[in-house]
Amino acid sequence: MSGEAKLSAPEFACPSAGEGVPTHVAIIMDGNGRWAAKRGLPRFEGHRRGVEAIRRAVRSAGELGIRYLTVYSFSAENWRRPAQEVSDLMGLLKRFVRHDLAELHANNIRVRIIGERQGLTSDIVLLLDEAENLTRHNTGLTLVIAFNYGGRQEIVGAVRALAEKVRAGTLDPASIDCDLLEQHLDTHGIPDPDLVIRTSGEQRVSNFLTWQTAYSEFLFIPDFWPDFDDAIFRAAIDEYCRRERRFGGLSARAG
């Protein structure tokens, strides 16, 4: 994994929008609380500004020609936070879906939700279902929202589903391979992330897309998530385009 990056480049390394840019960018949106604390504001204001940053990221991704954008909005571990903060985050999710869904749909954006829905309140489940159903046939950018999501939990769920099929006698254990397991993940049909960005300077993945990021490029940037804008996003894509991905093979320069 790369260390913390200072993003600056005099020229854009990718040839053009949609050419050379990553197909799938995943973002660990970190630093809302610290952004607010630095300004003497309540944590809720940091989360609210974080939602605005999501809107900017969606616009930038579409302009850059990125096909999939995944945002880590609420982890399975976030339930450990104070009850009021969890309630605030749920409220922001509801407002985002209610206020932004029509615009996302009008812009041909498809919404996918990954994560565990069991245990969520019925109103939230209905909103998540509505977002997916309304935009199901859209063909532009796919916005993947990781909500109540944990990478390890996702893998356990896939393994459990395979085990049930083995127990029912409909699956031969010898036929289980990586491709079959991937078909039982929340992200089935979505390509693995080419680039994972984490804001706020923290350098860990926090149980995010554990299976899918085996060969992703990582970029850790110092900016807090509410400050994430088009210039920062483009600089991150520029950094990605300057890297050489080898997927376990040799560099072309080595040969």
Please give the positions annotated as active site.
Answer: 30, 78
- Please enumerate, by residue number, every residue annotated as part of a binding site: 30-35, 43, 47, 75-77, 79, 81, 198, 204-206, 217
**Vertex 253: Cα angle to 249 and 255 (nearest 5):** 70
- Please enumerate, by residue number, every residue annotated as part of a binding site for substrate: 31-35, 43, 47, 75-77, 79, 81, 198, 204-206
**Rounded to whole angstroms, what are the CA distances from 235 to 12, 34, 102, 160, 218?**
8, 23, 30, 41, 14
Burial class (CB in 10 A: 0-12, 13-18, 19+), 192: middle
Q: How many CA atoms lie within 13 A of 212 on its CB side?
A: 27
CB under 8 Å to 133, separation ≥6 — which residues?
none
Burial class (CB in 10 A: 0-12, 13-18, 19+), 130: middle
- Please enumerate, by residue number, every residue annotated as part of a binding site for Mg(2+): 30, 217
**Vertex 141: Cα angle to 145 and 241 (nearest 5):** 95
Instruction: Note whether 28 and 225 are within 8 A (CB).
Output: no
Beta strands in 11-119 (DSSP E): 24-28, 68-75, 110-114
- Give the whole-angstrom CA distance, residue 9 versus residue 238: 7
